[in-house]
């Protein structure tokens, strides 16, 4: 399977879920509707009060008009296209399942070039002359020789950063445990013995031109010495944003930290406007919309705007339309 084939599948998954999400009346939406009704009632009472000045009365009339327009739109959405919380939960569950199945099928069929997971491996005690990161590198090389698309993204004396498709995280865990079962500590309060880990899910883009692993690695050359946040920003540039997995990221008993992170990412994937802003701990890519992209999307703001999934899908659709018109 080609990378573009997988990206097209992901675009379909994203679109289908966003359609459902747009029709979902969340608890926050319900509270907003109630707020608008209360606001209209309070403004009406203020106008009817004989002590209210003419200037304030005009202000309240304008406020009522705006609130009624917003309320009408909100209630039309609720009445005609309402998606219940139960249906929404089913939709997000299906989207996550389809996502994981698609990435697994892609890697199983020999596909390479999609890196939606980054794993930092840290030397536990930098004072020791032997920090085990070299041994981890040997394990990674062994996995590569077996056909796994796991890559060394960055390496320092105390840090080894790996990127890979999320579907092989359990394979990495098995390879580490087979070599030495003290590499990974599973208990919440267990102290790391040899190495510790932090793992990040990276929601992939549907446009292949945004960035690939070589471009992401090239960004590392801009700063020296490398700080951990900059390394994180560089591998995040391969997608829309990153989401840190709980604990060290590896599944433990009934805890599937990867699935939890993918669920959080897909459910919040349209929530970004500012590169400084984050939703539920999801940190956006350093990429922002260009002036040309803003123009195509009819965005007039001069502020930097994060390149998110909604922009990507809209620009992709515009590109298809332009291609069709040129034929």
Q: For 33-53, how does the pLDDT look when each residue is reduced to its tens digit (9 = 90+)? A: 788 888 888 888 888 887 888
Neighbours of 178 (CB within 10 A): 11
Q: Where in the chain are the domains?
A: 3-86, 112-269
Q: Decide the pairing of beta strands 195-204 and 117-123.
A: antiparallel
Enter the pTM of the model.
0.80
* Long-range CB contacts for residues 310-315, cutoff 8 Å, separation at least 24: 310/18, 310/270, 312/205, 312/206, 312/207, 312/210, 312/240, 313/11, 313/14, 313/15, 313/18, 313/206, 315/207
pLDDT per residue as tens digits for the range 244-272: 998 777 766 678 899 999 999 999 888 76
Tens digits of residue pLDDT in 133-156: 889 999 999 999 999 999 999 998
pLDDT tens digit sequence for 184-218: 776 555 556 778 888 999 999 998 666 789 989 98
Which H/E stretch holds residue 201?
strand 195-204
């Amino acid at each position: 399977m080609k990378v573009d084939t997988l990206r097209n599948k992901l675009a379909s998954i994203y679109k289908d879920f966003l359609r459902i999400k747009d029709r979902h009346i969340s608890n926050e939406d319900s509270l907003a509707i109630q707020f608008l009704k209360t606001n209209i009632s309070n403004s009406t009472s203020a106008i009817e009060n004989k002590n209210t000045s003419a200037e304030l009365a005009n202000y309240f009339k304008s406020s009522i008009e705006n609130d009624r327009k917003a309320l009408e739109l909100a209630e039309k959405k609720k009445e005609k296209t309402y998606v219940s919380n139960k249906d929404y939960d089913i939709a997000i569950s299906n989207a996550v399942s389809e996502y994981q199945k698609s990435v697994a099928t892609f890697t199983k069929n020999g596909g390479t070039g999609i890196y939606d997971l980054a794993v930092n491996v840290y030397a536990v005690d930098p004072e020791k002359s032997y920090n085990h990161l070299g041994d981890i590198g040997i394990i990674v090389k062994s996995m590569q020789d077996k056909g796994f698309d796991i890559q060394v993204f960055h390496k320092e004396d105390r840090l080894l950063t790996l990127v890979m498709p999320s579907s092989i995280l359990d394979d990495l865990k098995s390879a580490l445990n087979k070599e030495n079962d003290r590499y990974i500590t599973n208990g919440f309060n267990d102290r790391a013995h040899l190495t510790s880990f932090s793992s990040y899910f990276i929601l992939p883009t549907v446009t292949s031109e945004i960035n690939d692993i070589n471009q992401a690695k090239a960004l590392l050359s801009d700063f020296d010495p490398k700080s951990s946040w900059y390394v994180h920003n560089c591998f995040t540039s391969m997608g829309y944003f990153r989401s840190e997995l709980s604990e060290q990221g590896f599944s433990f008993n009934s805890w599937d930290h990867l699935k939890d992170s993918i669920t959080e990412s897909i459910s919040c994937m349209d929530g970004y406007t500012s590169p400084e802003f984050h939703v539920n701990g999801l940190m956006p890519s350093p990429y922002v919309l260009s002036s040309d992209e803003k123009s195509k999307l009819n965005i007039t703001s001069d502020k930097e705007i994060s390149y998110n999934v909604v922009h990507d899908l809209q620009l992709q659709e515009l590109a298809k339309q332009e291609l069709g018109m040129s034929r």
